[in-house]
Structure 1
Amino acid sequence: MFVRPAEPTDEKLLWAMLYEASYARENGIDSPDHLRGTPKLAHYVEGWGAAGDLGVVGGFDGVPLGAAWLRLFGPDDPAYGYVDADTPELAIGVAPEGRGTGLGTALMSALHDTAREKYDAISLSVRLENPARRLYQRLGYVDVPGSGQVNLAGTASVTMVLRLR
C-alpha cells in the first residue's frame, strides 16, 4: 500500500473518487465528467490545488485506488458538511476494488496528520446508512447536533466533526 500527498495533477483522480463517494452512479450520473455540471458536488474538486486544499492519494502496486482531501468553503457557497469558514470539509472516495483493504483508514490517518498542523477541526457529511460512518466514528468524528437532513430522494445524512486540537 502507498499513500502520498495529492498534487494538482491528481484532479482527474479526485473527480473519479468524488464520483464513488457521492453515489453518483446510483443517482443516474453515468460518469465522473458529468459531476462538473452539479455545482453542489463540483466545488469539492473544481480548481483543486487552491490555497487551503490538502489531500492524499493511495493505492496498491503503484495504482491509485483512493483519495481523501480537504477544502474550505465559505458561508456563501457551503458544502454538504459545512460547519464554518475555518473548518475544511473532508471528501474521501475509494474505488470498489480498494474497499475493505484498510486503504480508507490509511488515507484518513495520513490526512489527519497533515491537517493537524493547519486546522483545528475537520467536518464531513455522510449518509446514515453508509458503512464508512463506522470508520469516521472509530477515528473520533462525532455528529454535529441538529445537522441531520433528508434529501429529495429520502436519504438521511448527518454532518460530523473531528476536533484535531
Structure 2
Amino acid sequence: MTPDRTVLRAATPDDDSFVIEMARHACVIEDRPLPDPDDDEVLEMLPPAGVVPIIAQDHNGTSVGAVWTYYGSPPLRCDAAGVPLPELCIAVAPGHRGVGIGGMLLDALFAALVQSHDAMCTNVHVRNPAKKLYERKGFRAVGQGNGPLGLALIKDLR
C-alpha cells in the first residue's frame, strides 16, 4: 500500500476497538508482546472526551493507522505557564509501516491542533524507529521521558 491510496477521516464510535488496538501498539516497541486492552498504560493513552482520533484507511476501507492526543498523568511536559501539553498517540498497523502513513497522520494532527495549541509532546523509546519520523516532522528532544530509555520530544505548532 502506498500513502497516495490512503484516506484519512475522523473516527466514529465504530472505530473504538481499532483505536484501542492502536493504543496497544503505541505502548510497545515493534516485535514485543502487546499489552492487554485493559492495561493501565493502554487506558491512559486512549483519547479523552472531546478528542476525535484521525483514522487512516487503505483503498479497501480497512483501517491501518490512527493518531490523537491525550493527557498523561503526570504530564510528560508543560508549557511555560505550567499547563500540560497534549501528548501524541500514534500507531500504524504492522504490515503497513514504513510507507508514509505515519507522516500523513502526523501532518493531519498538526493541522488540526494548530488553532488550539502552541505545542505538543511525545515520549519515545530511544531505540524506537519512529523517533526518526518524529524528528523529521519537527519534534525536538527536550530531556528525559518516561522510563530509563524514554526521551521527551516537543513539537512547536505555531
Match of 1:22 among 18, 27, 30: 27
Determine if the alignment matches structure 1 residue 91 to structure 2 residue 84.
no
Identical aligned residues as a percent? 28
Q: Which runs of 5+ in 1 are unaligned?
A: none
Q: Which runs of 5+ in 2 are unaligned?
A: 1-5
Corresponding residue SS for 2:53: strand
Cα 1:49/1:158, change in 2 over 3 Å: closer
Tell me the equivalent position of 1:3: 8
| Structure 2 counterpart of 1:60, one-letter code | D
User: Which residues of 2 match residues 1-165 of structure 1 at below 5 A?
Assistant: 1-23=6-28, 28-29=33-34, 34-36=36-38, 38-45=39-46, 48=47, 50-51=49-50, 53-61=51-59, 62-73=61-72, 77-78=73-74, 82-84=76-78, 85-145=83-143, 147-148=144-145, 150-151=147-148, 156-165=149-158
Q: Do 1:18 and 1:92's aligned partners in 2 also have CA atoms closer than 8 Å?
A: yes
Deviations 1:87-124 (A, max 9, x none): 11000011112101211110010111001111111111
Q: Do 2:29 and 2:128's aligned partners in 1 also have CA atoms closer than 8 Å?
A: no
The TM-score, its normalising length taken from structure 2, stands at 0.82
Q: Do 1:8 and 1:49's aligned partners in 2 also have CA atoms closer than 8 Å?
A: no
Paired residues, number: 148
Larger CA deviation: 16-25 vs 61-70:
16-25
Cα 1:41/1:117, change in 2 over 3 Å: same
Offset at 1:41?
2.9
Tell me the equivalent position of 2:3: none
Offset at 1:21?
1.8
Cα 1:24/1:14, change in 2 over 3 Å: farther
Offset at 1:72?
2.8
